Amino acid sequence: MTVLDIMRKMDSIEYGFPNKSGINLIDSDDFDINFSSFYYLQSPEDLISSKCGVCWDQVELERYYFKKTDFSYQTYFLYLDDGDLLPSHTFLVYQDSFGYHWFEHSWEKYRGIHSYQKLSLLLQDVVDKFCFDYPALSNIYSYKLYLYTKPKYHISCDEFYKFIYTQKRINL
């Protein structure tokens, strides 16, 4: 399986989260406000079936696909610590003989494969882009970046954050 094969498979997934009827909740008025009350981390099989997931879900599906390759890969969790909504993003990075690559599917604005010579440059670029998208918050609150391993599936939003806090904090 090539990286482009993985991206093509990911293209069948839309951003959001399905309700019990399979309808994407992304357009509901309270998606962001009530996210933590209905969200659970979908397994790769769940996401393949629902075809609808946030970056947390999509990275787990990417992990599932990358596990079938010879690439070295890692997953990262980035958030702005505003103490409330905690806007966040997860992403996968893989490495080959040409360098480090940010594999991005869920963040539509940056969807694609972005290549860098150094991991530190890749991570800083993602942080900069994320903070740029949240200017009001990033001017007040600091970001936190974690390298994380595979979490348990079907955990709640709060459980996912608790898991992340046990992972390796990255300081740039």
What kind and span of H or E run contains 161? helix 157-164
In DSSP terms, 148 is beta-bridged to: 75
pLDDT at residue 159 is higher than 90: yes
Average pLDDT for 132-144 = 77
CA-based radius of gyration for the chain: 15
pTM value is: 0.94
The fraction of the chain above a pLDDT of 90, given in percent, is 74
Q: Pick 62 or 81 by higher pLDDT.
A: 62
Tokens of 172: 């740039």
Do residues 103 and 40 lie in contact, with contact meaning Cβ atoms separated by under 8 Å? no
Cα separations (Å) of 78 from 67, 96, 98, 151? 22, 23, 25, 15
